[in-house]
Structure 1
Amino acid sequence: MLFYRAAVDLSRSMLNYVAGIIRSHRKAIRSTWRRLNPAQQALLVLVYLRKGETFTELGAGFGVSAATAWRYVEETIGLLRARAPKLRHALRSADRDGLHYLVLDGMLVHTDRVRADRPYYSAKHRTHGMNIQVIASPDGTIIWTSGSLPGSTHDLTAARIWGILRALEQAGILTLADKGYQGAEGPVATPYKGRDKPASQKTANRSHARLRGPGERANAQLKSWRILRKLRCCPHKAGKLCKAIAVLQNYEFARG
């Protein structure tokens, strides 16, 4: 096997942040020795998430076995995911921050499932994947991400399963969403549907899209981490990965 040096487009501050979480965890469980120190483990995990490399490639690059690389990744993703806010807490924080509205959007994380796995097949995207619901602020900051459901799940159905509509109604925050959420109850505003709409509805739809657009960049931020472009692991890990990545994204946003 050949080896080469490579770069990861993440900040030193993020590396120190993840290393600090790992260091605290090791101290709490009294883990006296590991093959990699906290900073090396943090770098391994960031490479996995950002570049989507396999565990065999990670192990070769960091001088550990593929099984050890897998354990380090699973451990760190669990620690990051634990820092992701619950839905109601996230909405309370958004209300305290004075956000005038939120943006709700669905995201499909592609998987390598075969065509026989019909529950994972999204007719909308014409590919297999897992449905993730994302709530973002008007500027695209990630507020909350859901767990994962099979790709065949409709966005409105997914929002109801995760209790998003009920939580938004209780929070009383206006939320913009695309036509996939037509019929949603509560403070969810969607564009007008149908052909030959009057000029007033067309104008309203343009304004709706203009306000919703920046918030939907949250999905692009998540997909900038290559691990989410096509999962090669268990598809049900998609939600855990999204929550861990959202914690990292929000840390970087707060720092900058």
Structure 2
Amino acid sequence: MSSLEKIAGRRAELDQLAEALAKQLAEVDAEREELAVAERVLRRLYEQEAEAAAGQDAGLPERVQVGGRSVLKVPHRSEVADASALPGDYQRMLQIVKAAGGPVMVKDVGAEPGIEVSVPGPRLERVLAKIAREGGSVVLLDGSLIPTQRRAGLPIRRRWSAKHKRRGLLGIALTDTRGRLLWTSAARPARGSEITACRHDDLVGRLRAAGLTAIADLGFVGLDDSGPDTDPAVITGYKKPKGKKLPPAKKLVNQLIAAERAVCEHAFAHLKNWRVLTKLRLDVKWATRLVRALMILTQHEIAR
């Protein structure tokens, strides 16, 4: 009887060991899948940077959009020194200015050739489509608090941020892998979270439509609820479980993501250098316009 009890006890121990090993194997498989996804995204990011560096080394002429058309930023040199060396549209513009005999508005010059001269705002769809056209595959996503002063007669509680313990407005921004600001969301009361602000703009859906992936910090965990079989639209790090330690592989992923996101933090730092953003007393609508105008000015300051 004692032998049977020993066998039964040993079998129970083996069953428990098998259950623990099966659970550990499932965790290892899940972690391997997550690492495979992160590896694919980082490979695409490195390939994109290598292609950009190769294009700069090759000295390829840079093209820009003017009036909805692609033209060379610096035209090719020509021995002809008069207006006949210019493209046809430019020659027609010169004729319109000469025929006016005085000051003429830009919209009037572009109306006759049928060229759109209005400057569209940096809308999210246009920004993502431009990145995709240029061969990009990764953008950087982050959010930041814009401090505000108290205004009497307004619902102040909506602007109170429990995370930062102060009043302010929340803004979401996208940058490229070189840290250039591409798009800023509308300023929203800081009571909401960064994930809620992104869902208001349907950021995940628009990233998927453009075929792009965003790299974000731990504040955006849960934004992308796609299944494990699809490429994620938002890549984030791993949070440490309560009372446990992160495995070395997940720590390495967090380090890689933090290294790639450093330029995004620099972009927000450049934007917040403007003193007008230190203590705003504006309505949300005007704060949005101010932030977007400062984004354009920041781009020009950095590009100088």
> Is the shorter-chain TM-score for this pair beyond 0.5, marking a shared fold?
yes
Q: Give the Å deviation of 1:28.
A: 7.8
Structure 1's unaligned 5+ residue stretches are 1-25, 30-81
TM (norm. structure 2) is 0.55
Q: How many residues align?
A: 179
Q: 1:102-145 CA deviation, whole Å, 9 max, x = no partner?
A: 11101111100269711101111111001111000112101100
SS of 1:216's equivalent in the other structure is helix
Match of 1:240 in 2: 289
Q: Give the Å deviation of 1:182.
A: 0.6
Q: Give the Å deviation of 1:99.
A: 2.8
Structure 2's unaligned 5+ residue stretches are 1-103, 108-118, 225-231
Report the Cα distance in structure 2 between the residues aligned to 1:99 and 1:215, rounded to whole angstroms. 16
Q: 1:236-255 CA deviation, whole Å, 9 max, x = no partner?
A: 4221111111122223444x
1:227 has 2:276 as partner? yes
Instruction: Give the one of 125, 137, 142 matched to 2:164.
Output: 125
Q: Give the Å deviation of 1:84.
A: 2.6
Report the Cα distance in structure 2 between the residues aligned to 1:234 and 1:213, rounded to whole angstroms. 31
Q: Is the 8 A contact 2:147 2:280 kept in 1?
A: yes
1:205 has 2:254 as partner? yes
TM (norm. structure 1) is 0.64
SS of 1:125's equivalent in the other structure is coil
Report the Cα distance in structure 2 between the residues aligned to 1:160 and 1:153, rounded to whole angstroms. 11
Q: Is the 8 A contact 1:177 1:212 kept in 2?
A: yes
Q: Give the Å deviation of 1:213.
A: 1.1
Report the Cα distance in structure 1 between the residues aligned to 2:151 and 2:295, rounded to whole angstroms. 28
Q: Give the Å deviation of 1:215.
A: 1.9
Report the Cα distance in structure 1 between the residues aligned to 2:121 and 2:266, rounded to whole angstroms. 19
Q: 1:52-79 CA deviation, whole Å, 9 max, x = no partner?
A: xxxxxxxxxxxxxxxxxxxxxxxxxxxx
The share of aligned pairs that are identical, in percent, is 33
Q: Is the 8 A contact 1:148 1:237 kept in 2?
A: no
1:188 has 2:234 as partner? yes
Q: 1:13-67 CA deviation, whole Å, 9 max, x = no partner?
A: xxxxxxxxxxxxx9589xxxxxxxxxxxxxxxxxxxxxxxxxxxxxxxxxxxxxx
Q: Give the Å deviation of 1:211.
A: 0.5
Instruction: Give the one of 91, 104, 123 matched to 1:86.
Output: 123
**Greater C-alpha radius of gyration:** 2
